[in-house]
Structure 1
Amino acid sequence: MNVPYAEVIGDPIIQSKSPVIHGFWLEQLGIAGDYRRAHVKADGLADYLAARRADPDWRGCNVTMPHKQAVIALIDRLDPLAARIGAVNTIIPENGELVGYNTDAPGFLEPLRPLLDQTHYFRMARVLGTGGAARAIIAALAGEGMVIVAAGRNVEKARALLDELDPAGEHHVASLDHFADATDFDFDDREGCLDLVVNASSLGMSGQPPLAFDMTHAPPGSVFYDIVTSPLETNFLNAAKAAGFRTVDGLAMLIGQADHAFRRFFGAVPPRGEADVNLRARLLA
C-alpha cells in the first residue's frame, strides 16, 4: 500500500537533517508516512515539480539551498509571508495548486518567543550575513519591532535587503569586518532592552571560514543566536558563552521551522517539549 510522503529537495542534499526530524515525529505519533531526501539540481527543478504535482501520495516538500528563490516562478501561489520574504522553503499541494510557504521565519523566532512576548524599551538585532537565510530572519525580526543592523561583506547589498524587506524601518548597515576588531564603544544602560547578535551566514560552518566577531561589540545582556548546525557548538557560540552571554544554537531554528512544515505535510501537531530532548539526541548521534 502506498503511504503519504514528503521530502526535502536541494543540491547538495545529503547533509540535510530534515529526514531525521520528520521521521522521528512520524514514529512518535504512529503515523503511516514517510519523509525522504531528493537530490534535485537547478535544471531538474521544473521536471521534479511537474512529476510530484501528479503524485497523489506526495504531501509536499521542504526546499533548501540553492532553490528557495528559483521555485517561486514554478509554483502557483505564495503565502503572504513567503511573498514578503521573497523565498520559499516549503511547498504544499492544495486544491490542485502548489502553494509556497516560508517556515524559516516563524522557526527562527520560536526559541526567542519568551523574550519577544515581554515588553522592552528598545530592541536591536545585529544580523551577520545577507544571504537567503538572512532574508527570512530580517523579515521576522522587523515584524517583532526590532531595529536591525545588517552586516555583510557588501554594505550596498545589506542596505538593499533592508529597503526591500522593511522599507519603513529605521535600520542600519555595517561591514562584516567592522565586527571583527575590538571596539571601546561605551554602551548605554541596557536595562529593559533586548539585544540579539545573529549569525545568519554560513561562516563558522564545517568547511567554511570562521566568523570573526569581537565580543566588545555585544551590549550587556545580549543573546547570541547561530543558525549553523554543523558544528552545533560553533566558535561564535562558545566565545559568547565564555563571555557570559546567553546562546541559541542552530537546531532550535531547524526544529522550529520543521514543526510548521510537518503540520502542513501530515495534518498533525508534532510532539515537542520533552520530546525535543530525545530528538536532539538522535540528531547528534
Structure 2
Amino acid sequence: MIFTALLGNPVEHSVSTYLFSEYAKIADLEYTHIKLNVPAEVDLPVYLHSLHKIGCAGVNITLPYKLAVVKYLDAQDDRAQAIGAVNTVVMGNSGLIGYNTDGVGAYRSISDHLRPVKSGDRVTVLGSGGAARAIIYELYQRTDEITVLGQIPAQLESLSKDFHNPDRKPLQVSLIRDAALYDCLRTADFLINATPVGMYPETNDSLVTPALLDRLEQERSMKDLWTFDAVFNPHTTLMLKLLAQRGSPTCSGIWMMIYQAVEAFALWTGKDVSQAPFRDIEAKLQHLLEQRYSHG
C-alpha cells in the first residue's frame, strides 16, 4: 500500500483524493491519498515528520505553505531551489526532498489549452506567492516581457531579486492597482492569475472588473488576450467568465492541478500516467466541484 497526503489550510475544497485515485487505477496500484488541514505554520514540521515516520510516500503542499515548507526540508531539486517554493515533497530514506511541479503543470495547461508562449510575448502575472513564482519561472524560460502585479511589496522585491538574470530583461514588478492593470492589459498577450482571488467561497471576487474590461475594449480586442487562472475551485472563476464573455480564450486552473499531479505521482510512485484520459478526468473533476457548490 502506498499512501500520500495533501497539506494546507484549507484543504476541504480539494478534489485531489479523486484525482490521485484515478492515476492509481491506471498504474494498477493499491494507493490512498488523504487531505490534512494544517492549522498553522508551526504545526507543519510536526505533520511532515509524523507522516514520514509512519511511511507516507510524499505530500502535496498547498496554500499557504508553499514558501514556508522549504525551511523544514532536507533538500530540494534544482527547479524548486530556483523557484523558492515547493508543492511536492518526497519522503524516503534520504529524508524530505522538495520539488515543484506547479510551474510545469501550469505551463502545460497554457500550452495545451491556450497556446505556447513565444519569445517576445507580453505576459501579465497577478500574484507573487508560491504559485506565481513557479509559473513565472517557467514563463521566464520563454519570454522576458513579464510584468508581475502583486499585493505584498516584500514578495515583489524578493521576486525581482531572485529572478534577476544579467542576460535577460528583468521582471517588471508593481503593486496591483486598476491603473497598473489597465496599462499592462492594453498590450498583454497573456493574463495569468496566480492569486487565490475568486477561489471558493469568495466566488464573486475578481481582480479584473467589468468596468476595466469596458475601458480595454475601447483600445483592443480581447480575442488575442489568452487568459489562465490558477484557481481551480470553482472550475470557472468569475475572472474567466468575464474574459470569456468578451471573447478571450480561457483556461481553468483545474488543468494545472491535473498536470502537476502527473509529475507528483511519478515522483512518489515511479509510475508514468502522462497518457491518462485527461478530458474524462477533467469533466469528472468539474462535476465534483459543481456538486460541492450546489450543496452549499
TM-score range, shorter chain: 0.7 to 0.9
Q: CA deviation at 1:259?
A: 0.8
SS of 2:199's partner is coil
Check the 8 A contact 2:86/2:130 in 1, yes or no.
Answer: no
Q: Structure 2: state its 5+ residue gaps.
A: 288-296
Give the equivalent residue in structure 2 for 1:200: 194
CA distance in 2, matches of 1:277, 1:184: 33
Q: How does 1:57-136 map to 2 (within 5 A)?
A: 58-113=56-111, 115-116=115-116, 120=118, 122-136=120-134
Q: CA deviation at 1:180?
A: 8.0
Q: Structure 1: state its 5+ residue gaps.
A: 188-193
CA distance in 2, matches of 1:74, 1:198: 29
Q: CA deviation at 1:27?
A: 2.2
Match of 2:244 among 241, 254, 261: 241
Match of 2:265 among 249, 262, 266: 262
Q: CA deviation at 1:182?
A: 5.9
Give the equivalent residue in structure 1 for 2:50: 51
Give % identity: 26
Which one-letter code corresponds to 2:231 in the other structure?
A: V
- Range with greater deviation from structure 2 (78-87 or 173-182): 173-182
CA distance in 1, matches of 2:82, 2:71: 15
SS of 2:197's partner is coil
Q: CA deviation at 1:121?
A: 5.6
CA distance in 1, matches of 2:155, 2:57: 36
Q: CA deviation at 1:184?
A: 12
Which one-letter code corresponds to 1:196 in the other structure?
A: F
1:130-183, Cα deviation, whole Å (9 max, x unpaired): 222211111221122241111123566434422222344333234322358867
SS of 2:170's partner is coil
Q: CA deviation at 1:238?
A: 1.6
Give the equivalent residue in structure 2 for 1:250: 253
Q: CA RMSD in A?
A: 2.7
1:173-221, Cα deviation, whole Å (9 max, x unpaired): 343223588679975xxxxxx8210111111223333223433187761
Which one-letter code corresponds to 1:140 in the other structure?
A: E
CA distance in 2, matches of 1:135, 1:166: 13
CA distance in 2, matches of 1:195, 1:68: 28
Give the equivalent residue in structure 1 for 2:290: none
Q: CA deviation at 1:73?
A: 1.8
SS of 1:207's partner is coil
Check the 8 A contact 2:255/2:282 in 1, yes or no.
Answer: no
**How many residue pairs get matched?**
273
CA distance in 2, matches of 1:33, 1:279: 18
When residues 95 and 162 of structure 1 are mapped into structure 2, their CA distance, relative to the original with a 3 A threshold, is same
Give the equivalent residue in structure 1 for 2:294: none
In the superposition, the TM-score normalised over structure 2's length comes to 0.82
Give the equivalent residue in structure 2 for 1:190: none
Which one-letter code corresponds to 2:229 in the other structure?
A: D
CA distance in 2, matches of 1:171, 1:264: 31
Matched, 1:178 2:172: no
Check the 8 A contact 1:153/1:177 in 2, yes or no.
Answer: no
Give the equivalent residue in structure 2 for 1:4: 2
1:34-57, Cα deviation, whole Å (9 max, x unpaired): 11112233232222222222334x
Give the equivalent residue in structure 1 for 2:208: 212
- Range with greater deviation from structure 2 (11-20 or 78-87): 11-20
Q: CA deviation at 1:111?
A: 2.0
SS of 2:189's partner is strand
Give the equivalent residue in structure 1 for 2:291: none
Match of 1:276 among 275, 278, 284: 278
CA distance in 2, matches of 1:47, 1:186: 47
Which one-letter code corresponds to 1:55 in the other structure?
A: I
CA distance in 2, matches of 1:18, 1:47: 22
- Range with greater deviation from structure 2 (6-15 or 218-227): 218-227
CA distance in 2, matches of 1:40, 1:26: 25
